[in-house]
Amino acid sequence: MDSEALRRAYDEVLAEVAAGGFEPPSDGELSAEQIVAHLVANDELMSEATEAVLAGSPFAYYDLDAIHRPQLDALVAEYADPGAGGGWPAAGGSAALSGSAALGGLADRLRETSRRLCALVDRLGPAAQTPVETRLHEDVDLRVDETLPWARTLDLHARVHLPKHLAQLRALRPQLHAHRA
């Protein structure tokens, strides 16, 4: 299995994060930091699942919006507080581009987790067709509740999941010409 589509989707998300300039979210929506933290946490889950597939071990992949919120807030807090171990990005790193230490640190972490996932995906070969119990519930527009070949879940991540969060990030940017809408 080739990770090229996955890499392109991550490149788009990371470019959007680097552009910065995000406004606070509407009530009930995720902030830019929470969106990136969600993608980091999801990458870690997908990497675990991919490692299990490579090892020939059974694995169930669950990405459920409801169980992530406390984890997302903790991950954002870890990167917002340099004393908490998340660390600040190096001078001139992503924080300089995004304007938020937490967002910059999370973007650096997303870069790492996405590279790791893509490297694992490149190793899958025929194992990509391994059936994996998949539960993916995000809002009403992305619901998967079945056993799928792992390649199909990875394809959904590249073609649906990442673009969904890219759109969320773009929606957090101020509209310069709202009067023209």
Whether domain 4-19+31-176 has CATH 1.20.120: yes
> What is the predicted pLDDT for the residue at 145?
84
Is 59 strand, coil or helix? coil
Burial 3-31 (b: 16+ CB within 10 A, else e): beebbebbeebbebbeebebeebeeeebb
Q: Which residue has the tokens 């190793």?
A: 123
Kindly tell me if the per-residue pLDDT of 102 is higher than 60: yes
> What is the predicted pLDDT for the residue at 178?
52
Q: Which two tokens stand for residue 57?
A: 């071990």
22-73 confidence digits (pLDDT tens): 999 988 889 999 999 999 999 999 999 999 999 999 888 877 654 567 888 8
178 CB-contact burial (10 Å; exposed 0-12 / middle 13-18 / buried 19+): exposed
Please state the φ and ψ torsions of residue 137, each to the nearest 5 degrees. -125, 105
Q: What's the mean pLDDT in 108-127?
A: 97
pTM across the whole model: 0.83
Amino acid at 25: P
Domain ranges, ordered by start, for the chain:
4-19+31-176
179 CB-contact burial (10 Å; exposed 0-12 / middle 13-18 / buried 19+): exposed
